[in-house]
């Protein structure tokens, strides 16, 4: 791999495909993707959008990731996507996976000392489809802007 970050949707998906390919070629334990620190700097956890402005179904919707929870990250290994999320992000993940029938939640762990849950999703698909799902998770589960930068931090 020659580059390790991207901020536009087509480039991010190409980055994910390249990272998955490098991960598989190296036989590494897992690859890790992480949102750029700037997503937390531009987010205020207390900022919410009223229903009439958001077009949503709830009274308010959070704008982006909660800075108290740290940077959103996703790991991929051996056909499994691993991520941490809040209960509301878990609901968004379940809804999203309805659009990706080849992806299924295998396990949900609720550690006693953690705020959220750890989720393992089976991802038995080609790298392009996995990349589409990863990008959708960052945008629709974690609430990142379409132009958010994502880094490959471990292969």
For each of the chain's 155 residues, which pLDDT tens digit applies? 678 999 999 999 999 999 999 999 999 999 999 999 998 886 544 444 333 443 444 343 446 777 777 899 999 999 999 999 999 999 999 999 999 999 999 999 998 887 889 999 999 999 999 999 999 999 999 999 999 999 999 99
Q: What's the chain's Rg over C-alpha atoms?
A: 15
pLDDT of amino acid 56: 40
Q: What are phi and psi of 99, to 5 degrees?
A: -90, -10
pLDDT of residue 50: 39
Q: What pLDDT, on the 0 to 100 scale, is given for residue 81?
A: 98
Beta strand ranges found along the chain (DSSP E): 5-6, 31-35, 48-50, 60-62, 73-77, 80-85, 103-109, 117-123, 150-154
User: CB of 74 within 8 A of CB of 32?
Assistant: yes
For the chain, the distance separating the N- and C-terminal CA atoms, rounded to the nearest angstrom, is 10
């Amino acid at each position: 791999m020659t580059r390790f970050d991207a901020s536009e949707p087509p480039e991010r998906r190409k980055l994910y495909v390249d990272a998955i390919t490098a991960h598989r070629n190296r036989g590494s334990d897992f690859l890790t993707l992480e949102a750029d620190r700037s997503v937390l700097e531009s987010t205020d956890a207390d900022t919410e959008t009223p229903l009439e402005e958001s077009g949503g179904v709830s009274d308010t919707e959070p704008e982006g990731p909660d800075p108290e929870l740290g940077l959103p990250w996703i790991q991929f290994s051996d056909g499994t996507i691993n991520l941490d999320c809040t209960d509301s992000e878990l609901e968004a993940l379940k809804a999203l996976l309805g659009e990706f029938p080849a992806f299924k939640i295998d396990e949900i762990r609720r550690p006693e000392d953690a705020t959220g849950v750890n989720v393992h999703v089976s991802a038995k698909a080609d790298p392009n489809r996995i990349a589409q799902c990863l990008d959708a998770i960052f945008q629709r589960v974690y609430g990142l802007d379409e132009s958010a930068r994502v880094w490959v931090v471990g292969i």
